Structure 1
Amino acid sequence: MRVFFDRELDTVATFWRIYRRDGVALAFTSHDRDLTFGGIRHLAAPGMVPAAIRLTAALSNDSAEVQGALNHDSIGAADLAAGLFDEAAVEIGAVDWVRLDHHTLYTGTIGRIEDDGTQFAAELRSSKSLLERDLVPRTSPTCRAEFCGRGCGLAASHLTSKRAVAEIHLENNRVRFIGIAGADYIDGRLRFLSGPQTGVAFRIVAAEEEWLTLDRPLVEGTAIGARAELREGCDHTLATCAGRFANAINFRGEPFLPGNDLLARQGQP
């Protein structure tokens, strides 16, 4: 195997690959010309460099960061804001730009992305981050179970439908669907099945009649009549669980447990 940096002058560049959840794969190199290896063409992006990579044998999360100018159409500010790169898989490594020998140094997923209009910085999370999750349940007045997930007991297929987009309001970040009760979809999920944001999961944060307000920016290009997948939402309260879904038996919370405000409550006559 090629040993990198074993001489004073070495023909080494960095490379990174991004595998988005919508199936798009992008690859870049810090070299000043495109390089093709591993069956993938890596676009020259000398302004984009790994700022720091830390690998350890411990169980703590390995960290890495990539900074650079937005100098490729494949990574635009609108795509970043639209969430197309959220949770994308990432590989970072070193490549000999003469012999094209290469080695992957880091694998992970994209976390928080910061963009100041001229540059972006992406926080990367390694697979070790899964070990930092708190697996011990905590008491809470609301349900801890993921809606339609493990512990909830409701089937997502029964609460999901495919509908056509009737109107889009980019400025207010809203989408309208005919024949829906918008209030049922608050805290729910929307996924477009066509257009520039295909496959991106939006959380529905507010609703007004048939209009749904989304948690991240919409971009131009989604056509009126495009199909979208809508899943209803839940506010994780016992009243909603029992009254709307008749699912109180699976409620994963303690709504009647006294909280920190017990001493501050006013006595009742």
Structure 2
Amino acid sequence: MSGFEAHLAADVTTLCHCWRVTLRDGTVMGFTDHDRKLEFAGTSFEPESGLTASEARASLGLTSDVVDVSGALSAAQITEADIAAGRYDGASVETYLVNWQAVSERQLLRKAMIGRITRKDGQFTAELEGLQAELDQTAGRTLRRLCSAELGDARCRFVLGASHKGSGSLTQMKGDTAIVTGLGGHGDGWFTGGILTWTSGAAAGRCERVELHRRNGDQSELKLWRETAAPVAAGARFTVTAGCDKHFSTCRDKFSNARNFQGFPHLPGNDAAYGYATEAEEHDGRPLVL
């Protein structure tokens, strides 16, 4: 019997949980529900986070089990801005059962990924999804009419020129809408669906999807798909790329890039699939969808 097994079999144990979180950018953080800092495997596990775990369960089969981990946003390493910015989304989490009197006596309980995170009243709750959750991710391409590429990426192959980019500065944030200057040379909707990247200020480096672009006199309004996580003050600089609604007609008419369209625009819909020939219709083999 190993030392850890003997400890578990004893009448009195000194056990705690430790979580090692590895973010997608490679940053590694450690947390524990013990009241002192613990160190092992090259990681320091901090107690200040006040993390607590819900009941865990393991099921046979391919169903992904979910465990909730809750904690306070007062920890120096966990901030509301980072959570809202999606920094923890998709991070991997290792959960250990540890004898805090002898950290060499420990057992890896599970590996999981952070799924949905909710925030309320200075607290956060993160769902830890089992590795089976990766099986729910789309692999390969799917047959759909809309393009699956991002404008300007390797699959799209469109070269973004000066007319397809813009830059300016923020005048004011109204909720999820940025009032900006510098885009006066572009008409309404040109940047709808594009990507805005902050280049200065507290949100520098953060990217936002533009839901709607409209002109308003000398200024422009950019409605972002959600309120920016980091505070953005007036004067912050940004760049923004032209938007694409993923339709074949837009790819053809706005960007002249129809040959690289990464969708299936001529795929018949349900009406065509269940339709039937009539004398009044012309069936000459032409595409059903233009």
Taking structure 2 as the reference length, the TM-score comes to 0.71
Q: 1:129 aligned to 2:130?
A: no
Out of 227, 234, 246, the position equivalent to 2:256 is 246
Aligned to 1:141: 145
**46-55 vs 234-243, greater mean Cα deviation:** 46-55
Distance verdict in 2 for CA 1:252–1:82, change over 3 Å: closer
Residue 259 of structure 1, CA deviation: 2.0
Contact in 2 for aligned 1:159/1:231 (Cα 8 Å)? no
Number of corresponding residues: 266
Cα 1:2–1:201, aligned 2, differ >3 Å: closer, same or farther? farther
* Other-structure match for 1:184: 190
* Matching residue of 2:214: 208
Quick one: which amino acid aligns to residue 233 of structure 1?
G
Q: Which residue of 2 aligns with 1:236?
A: 246
Call closer, same or farther: CA 1:140–1:203 in 2, change over 3 Å: same
Unaligned runs of 5+ in 1: none
Q: Which residue pairs with 1:165 in the alignment?
A: 169
Q: Which range moves more in the overlay, 142-151 or 54-63? A: 54-63
SS at match of 2:269: coil
Structure 1 stretch displaced more, 192-201 or 29-38:
192-201
Task: Report how far residue 169 of structure 1 moved.
Answer: 0.5
Pair 10,249 (structure 1): closer, same or farther in 2 beyond 3 Å:
same
Q: CA deviation at 1:22?
A: 6.2
Structure 1 pair 110/34, CA: closer, same or farther in 2 (3 Å)? same
Q: Does 1:3 align with 2:13?
A: no
Q: 1:112-169: per-residue Cα shift (whole Å, max 9, x none)?
A: 1122325322123444433333446544332234444464333579898684533340
Distance of aligned partners of 1:194 and 1:39 in 2 relative to their CA distance in 1, 3 Å threshold: farther
Q: Comparing both chains, which one has the higher relative contact order based on Cα–Cα distances under 8 Å and sequence gaps of 6 or more?
A: 1
Q: Which ranges of structure 2 fall in alignment gaps of 5 or more residues?
A: 282-290
**Percent of aligned positions that are identical:** 30
Task: Give the letter aligned to residue 4 of structure 2.
Answer: V
Task: Provide the aligned C-alpha RMSD in A.
Answer: 3.8
Does 1:174 pair with 2:178?
Answer: yes
CA contact (8 A) 2:18 2:33 kept: yes
Residue 22 to residue 258, structure 1, CA distance change in 2 (3 Å): closer
SS of 1:165's equivalent in the other structure is strand
Letter of the structure 2 residue corresponding to residue 3 of structure 1? F
The SS at the match of 1:184 is coil
